[in-house]
Structure 1
Amino acid sequence: MNKHRKRWRRARQALTLAFFILVPVLLFSVLKNLDWQEVHQALAAYRWSTLALAAGVTLGSFALFSSFDLLGRHYTGHHLPARQVLPLAFVCYAFNLNLSAWVGGIALRYRLYTRLGLKVSTITRVLSLGLLTNWVGYCVVAGSLFVCGLPRLPAGMEIGNTGLRLIGALLLLVAVIYWLACGFATRRTWRLRQHQISLPGIRLATLQMLMGACSWSLMALVVFTLLPKGADYPTLLAVLMISSIAGVITHIPAGLGVLETVFLSLLHGSYGKGTLLAALIGYRAIYFLLPLLIATLTYLVLEHLASQRSTGDRSQTSG
């Protein structure tokens, strides 16, 4: 047991060091690829009311995604209050979007939760449930849209519209199997190495599907608000589903270039290139960069509060 604790302590120290080295490097790689003059010009063309609406939708999206960790609290039974869980989850989501899941979704979440006193096994279960919520929601939304024939793929694409419908049916099947397993499986717990995996109840699984689906829908709604009136929201949402999975496959932080390429390739016949690029630049500024800035400041506050708690605990122990 002592050897295990020492190994974990060393691993945590190495992870912390790697985190403080990696974050500035990745942050620079994100920012240096943006043309700030182009961002300024694109956003200057929007009305303040439009930007405020997009920012409001973004706020709702981040609040909903951060609430995935509240589902994790219910699932694991840990007793950290929502006032600690929600800011932590917000920081992790913003860093996850911009700097990859390894930084935000995993490394940062383990660091912040351990500083609040959660066990590694509990953090793993919270993280796992959040990932399931996100991707089960993706299966519901993407599967439904693909089955309905959205988006219409340009001629010449290898997968074709029929192939896309089949993928949609498969995604919906995955979501239904998960939901049925949560409701009716007789065996509900497995052990994977030192971790215990338990299926949530059907009510929690239903809530996962609803929250995950709404989270993806709000992301597309930000782009929708930045496009001219008459934009086709279901098609935009379907294109976002494709660009998101393409970004995951390529492992490019923030999907830089991937999102733009997919949107321009699939929607070039529906919108002018300048109009679409302006919306995507606005989307990156409002949904990615602004939350990242706020999350960075929030992270510094969380680290300061954690340091104060550690100092207080040491003082009580020595006293």
Structure 2
Amino acid sequence: MSLGLRTLWGWTRRLFPWVLAAIVLGLVARQARMVEWAEVWVAVQSLAVSQLALAAALAALSYALYASFDLVGRHLTRARVSVGRSLGTAAISYAFNLNFGSLVGGLAMRLRLYTRWGLSAPTVGKIIAYSMVTNWLGYLWIAGAVLIWAPPRLSQEWLPGALVLRGAGVALVLAAAAYVVLCFVSRRRQLSLRGHSMELPSGPLALLQATLGGASWLLIAAIVWTLFAGRVDYPDVLGALLLAAVAGVLTHVPAGLGVLEAVFAASLASDRLPVTEVLAVVLVYRATYYLMPLVLALPAYGWSEVAARRRSARAQAVGDAPV
């Protein structure tokens, strides 16, 4: 490839995500102007208490499942931290991640909490990497299966045709399968990328990663489906959730604010289910899965700060005591 083509490709690769983000945000803004928000609030108030309770229980189960992703990294890095502390750190970080972005929750919060327990920054980085692999490995095969068998029904301004989506679904499933196969057959047991190396999990552990990651996405979709009370088919809800997740990542909007709502409205609203009811469900889902866990995570993080200072003070007092 000539120097000019390499330069053009480099600029294209840098600008494409931002152009795509601008298109998505433009569609989000246009969708928001068309909504009757007073009717959305009325629809929110009509949701049954039993639906809210079940959604909250599923959200708690989902957080526990997502926190277990860190146990994979704990095992592979042989990190000297207890299971309980690892789960607690992951759950707190996940709440911050969803609401404030991956740099705050996924990286900074995990780094601060894990180093408090004596882990080195490189070890924490590997735990984060294994957790991300587990999450997105599950996404790949779940999204691939949805695109193959039940592609989302969106207008052409949002997505290409069903044939293209099914082709993309096959590619996603093959990518997930390639990782699992690599873990079974690789002899080096090391994966290197840009000067960083990670130990490959065993084949059975890779299958466990795929299972945990896929179950997590299925469980999150079950929360939204519960709030719809059967008025929308589960595959449709799952497809909308998976699309919203990618749109949120591409737009870099904290908590996917507005993006989540717009994608669900575009993919699920119909004559049978008005856009106001779709948005009401999504807003309640956001409160249940994003805001309520954050309300719990904030004091938990504060308590960890206080406990860490007390431990440091005791250790200093012991060190200063005369022998």
* TM-score normalised over the length of structure 1: 0.84
In 2, the alpha carbon distance for the partners of 1:295 and 1:273 equals 32
* Partner residue, 1:272: 274
CA displacement at 1:228 relative to structure 2:
3.2
* Partner residue, 2:7: none
CA displacement at 1:55 relative to structure 2:
0.1
Q: Would the alpha carbon gap of residues 191 and 174 (structure 1) be closer, same or farther in structure 2, given more than 3 Å must change? A: closer
| 1:183 maps onto 2:184 in alignment | yes
Residues 99, 255 of structure 2: 8 Å contact kept: yes
In 1, the alpha carbon distance for the partners of 2:157 and 2:78 equals 51
* Partner residue, 1:148: 149
Secondary structure of the corresponding residue to residue 197 of structure 1: strand
* Partner residue, 2:80: 79
Residues 54, 222 of structure 1: 8 Å contact kept: yes
In 1, the alpha carbon distance for the partners of 2:101 and 2:154 equals 28
Residues 91, 295 of structure 1: 8 Å contact kept: yes
* Partner residue, 1:93: 94
| 1:318 maps onto 2:303 in alignment | no
| 1:171 maps onto 2:172 in alignment | yes
Secondary structure of the corresponding residue to residue 182 of structure 1: helix
* Partner residue, 2:34: none
CA displacement at 1:318 relative to structure 2:
2.2
In 2, the alpha carbon distance for the partners of 1:85 and 1:222 equals 25
After TM superposition, the structure 1 = structure 2 runs for residues 46-57 of structure 1, keeping only pairs within 5 Å, are 46-57=47-58
* Paired residues, number: 284
Residues 39, 282 of structure 1: 8 Å contact kept: no
Secondary structure of the corresponding residue to residue 317 of structure 2: helix
CA displacement at 1:111 relative to structure 2:
0.8
CA displacement at 1:40 relative to structure 2:
6.8
In 1, the alpha carbon distance for the partners of 2:152 and 2:194 equals 42
* Partner residue, 2:199: 198
CA displacement at 1:158 relative to structure 2:
5.2
| 1:44 maps onto 2:49 in alignment | no
Q: Would the alpha carbon gap of residues 202 and 46 (structure 1) be closer, same or farther in structure 2, given more than 3 Å must change? A: same
* Partner residue, 1:225: 226
In 2, the alpha carbon distance for the partners of 1:71 and 1:315 equals 36
In 1, the alpha carbon distance for the partners of 2:193 and 2:135 equals 22
Residues 221, 238 of structure 2: 8 Å contact kept: yes
CA displacement at 1:194 relative to structure 2:
6.8
Secondary structure of the corresponding residue to residue 290 of structure 2: helix
Task: Structure 2: state its 5+ residue gaps.
Answer: 1-36
Residues 137, 216 of structure 1: 8 Å contact kept: yes
After TM superposition, the structure 1 = structure 2 runs for residues 253-272 of structure 1, keeping only pairs within 5 Å, are 253-269=254-270, 271-272=273-274
In 2, the alpha carbon distance for the partners of 1:121 and 1:191 equals 14
* Partner residue, 1:115: 116
In 2, the alpha carbon distance for the partners of 1:114 and 1:131 equals 19
After TM superposition, the structure 1 = structure 2 runs for residues 55-74 of structure 1, keeping only pairs within 5 Å, are 55-74=56-75
Residue type of the partner of 2:256?
Answer: G
Residue type of the partner of 2:291?
Answer: L
* Partner residue, 2:295: 293
Residues 94, 105 of structure 2: 8 Å contact kept: yes
Residue type of the partner of 1:236?
Answer: V
In 2, the alpha carbon distance for the partners of 1:68 and 1:119 equals 19
In 2, the alpha carbon distance for the partners of 1:271 and 1:196 equals 49
In 2, the alpha carbon distance for the partners of 1:90 and 1:41 equals 32
In 1, the alpha carbon distance for the partners of 2:167 and 2:261 equals 25
Task: Structure 1: state its 5+ residue gaps.
Answer: 1-35
Partner deviation per Cα, 1:160-206 (whole Å, 9 max, x = no partner): 11111111111111101100011101222255577431111111111
CA displacement at 1:104 relative to structure 2:
0.1
Residue type of the partner of 1:80?
Answer: V
Query: Which stretch of the first structure deviates more once superposed, 309-318 or 252-261?
Result: 309-318
Q: Would the alpha carbon gap of residues 39 and 66 (structure 1) be closer, same or farther in structure 2, given more than 3 Å must change? A: farther
| 1:160 maps onto 2:167 in alignment | no
Secondary structure of the corresponding residue to residue 150 of structure 1: coil
Partner deviation per Cα, 1:247-279 (whole Å, 9 max, x = no partner): 000000010111111111111225211211110
CA displacement at 1:229 relative to structure 2:
2.6
Q: Would the alpha carbon gap of residues 235 and 80 (structure 1) be closer, same or farther in structure 2, given more than 3 Å must change? A: same
In 2, the alpha carbon distance for the partners of 1:267 and 1:294 equals 31
Residues 182, 200 of structure 1: 8 Å contact kept: yes
CA displacement at 1:152 relative to structure 2:
2.5
Secondary structure of the corresponding residue to residue 196 of structure 1: strand
| 1:303 maps onto 2:302 in alignment | no
Residue type of the partner of 1:64?
Answer: L
